[in-house]
Amino acid sequence: MGNTFLMPQKIISGENVINELGEHIKGKGEKALIVTDSFMVKSGNVTKVEDALKKTEISYVIYDGANTEPTDKIVDAGLKIFKEEKCDFIVALGGGSPMDTAKAIAFMSVSSGKLRDYMHTSIDMQVPYLVAIPTTAGTGSEATKNTIIADTETEVKMLLGGPSIIPALAVIDPVFTMTVPPKITAATGIDALTHSIEAYTSRKAQPMSDIFARSAVKKIYKNLLTCFKDGNNVEARLQLSEGALEAGIAFNNSSVTIVHGMSRPIGALFHIAHGVSNAILLPACLEFAVEGNIQRFAELGRLLEVADSNASDTDAAQALVTEVTRFCKALEIPTLTELGVDKDAFMANLDKMADDALESGSPQNTMRIPTKEQIIEIYKKLF
């Protein structure tokens, strides 16, 4: 059975490429819905997009309601504006929340029913032209076929996806990441590192996804701490942004595994940002996963030069896990306790979280497929 490889139709990258946006979207639509959050408006980042659209005399309206992890209600509010304002294409500007919101608005604008109706289906229909401009180096959403939206009735983070919602144009401009504070830089960067590691060690890994995953792991590892300590380093910001894009392309084609599967329930129930919950889980999940895929983890250990070239596969794989654990500490990733999560409430939800994690399907992509009981034991290790 052959492999299918999907990625955006076009990618432009480099410092200040936002100024070239107009020439890349000519003829794609007459009125854009800019999907973003209020901080992007206040910080002046939306103005850069507005200026680019004005150069080509494209009209637009701004929806800045994607201020939290996206929910069905946030999507519905943006969809209402899209229809009432008679928009015909979408520009997403921001981190994962605006990206995911924009994707959902795009396919719901030509669909019926509710968002939950599209769980476990492949979203494949003609949707409005979608431009993605990430302002964090993390989610890789600018290159993926997935969107994660919380169902406010069931408190489940819905994983929705299909080829239709891969952005047609990804704009990778480090200028937008310069205002990202260190804590968010760390959390989103670890999210991207998780994407690349999971993509490379997934059951669904394929030769093309491996190329992007290996490149992403190296770029993120070499530049994330620099960006965390010196946010004004443009070259490091560009390298990190391109690494996050490559990680997105990689997992878009090989899928994620246990970390993401276990992360979504934590975010849904305790309202912790996706990147942070990934980072909290990463060391414990890698400890579990490495046993079933020693060779692949060893290859990554050698790629990052945290293991000697003559080290055994077992030692090289363990060296990677040890280094990732140290790396998370160096980036000052908080614990659940430090985030104010009540231990009793967390333990009371173990059963639901484990069920929701397995329901997502992601843990089953791990070479060492976890049982519900093993997932619960990993959750317990977080306190």
**What is the model's pLDDT at position 296?**
98
CATH value at residue 302: 1.20.1090.10
C-alpha 344/C-alpha 328 separation (Å) is: 25
Identify the pLDDT of residue 68: 85
**135 falls within a domain:** yes
User: Does 1 reside within a domain?
Assistant: no
CATH code of the domain in which 116 resides: 3.40.50.1970
Q: Is the pLDDT of residue 39 over 90?
A: yes
- How confident is residue 145, by pLDDT bands cut at 50, 70 and 90? very high
| pLDDT-wise least confident of 151-155, 251-255, 290-294 | 151-155
Q: 254 and 213 in contact (C-beta within 8 Å)?
A: yes
Across 270-275, average pLDDT? 88
Indicate if 140 and 205 belong to the same structural domain.
Answer: no
Domain boundary residue, one of 142, 177, 212 = 177
Q: How many domains does the chain have?
A: 2
Please say if the pLDDT value at position 1 is more than 80.
no
pLDDT tens string 328-353 = 999 999 999 999 999 999 999 999 99
Q: Are residues 237 and 324 in the same domain?
A: yes
Clarify whether residues 135 and 83 are in a common domain.
Answer: yes
Report the C-alpha gap between 51 and 21 in whole angstroms.
10
Question: Given this model, what pLDDT does residue 184 score?
Answer: 93
Please spell the DSSP secondary structure of 263-292, one letter per residue: HHHHHHHH---HHHHHHHHHHHHHHHHGGG
**Per-residue confidence at 120, pLDDT binned at 50, 70, 90?**
confident
Q: What is the pLDDT of residues 88-109, one digit of tens each?
A: 999 999 988 999 999 999 999 9
Nearest to 328 by CA among 288, 294, 277, 374: 277
Dist CA 32 CA 345 (whole Å)? 43
64 and 122 together in one domain: yes
Long-range contacts of 219-223 (CB under 8 A, 24+ apart): 219/243, 219/246, 220/137, 220/189, 220/192, 220/193, 220/196, 220/244, 220/247, 221/193, 221/304, 221/327
Give yes or no: residues 58 and 109 share one domain.
Answer: yes
Domain hosting residue 73, numbered range:
10-177
Residue 308: predicted pLDDT: 86
Q: Which of 128, 101, 126, 134 is nearest to 115 (CA)?
A: 101
In a domain, 4, yes or no: no
270 & 330 share domain: yes
Mean pLDDT of the chain: 95
- Choose among 36, 30, 155, 12: nearest CA to 95: 36
Residue 38 domain-assigned? yes
288-326 burial, b at 16+ Cβ within 10 Å, e below that, comes to bbbeebbebbbbbbbbbebbeeebebeebbbbbbbbbee
| pLDDT at residue 240, rounded to an integer | 98
Q: Which pTM does this prediction carry?
A: 0.92
Domain finish residue from 133, 162, 177: 177
Do 155 and 192 fall into the same domain? no
Euclidean distance between CA atoms 89 and 67, whole angstroms = 21
The mean pLDDT of 63-70, rounded to a whole number, is: 92
The whole-number average pLDDT for the span 261-277 is 91
Do 232 and 338 lie in one domain? The reply is yes
What's the rounded Cα separation, in Å, for the pair 139 and 98? 11
| pLDDT tens-place string over residues 165-211 | 999 999 999 999 998 999 999 999 999 999 999 999 999 999 999 99
Residues comprising the chain, all counted: 383
**What pLDDT was estimated at residue 164?**
94
CA dist., res. 106 & res. 29, Å (int)? 13
pLDDT value at 155 more than 90: no
* Helix, strand or coil, per DSSP, at residue 236: helix
Rg (CA), the chain: 20
Q: Is 141 within a domain? A: yes
For range 139-161, the mean pLDDT: 90
CA gap 235, 217 in Å, rounded: 17
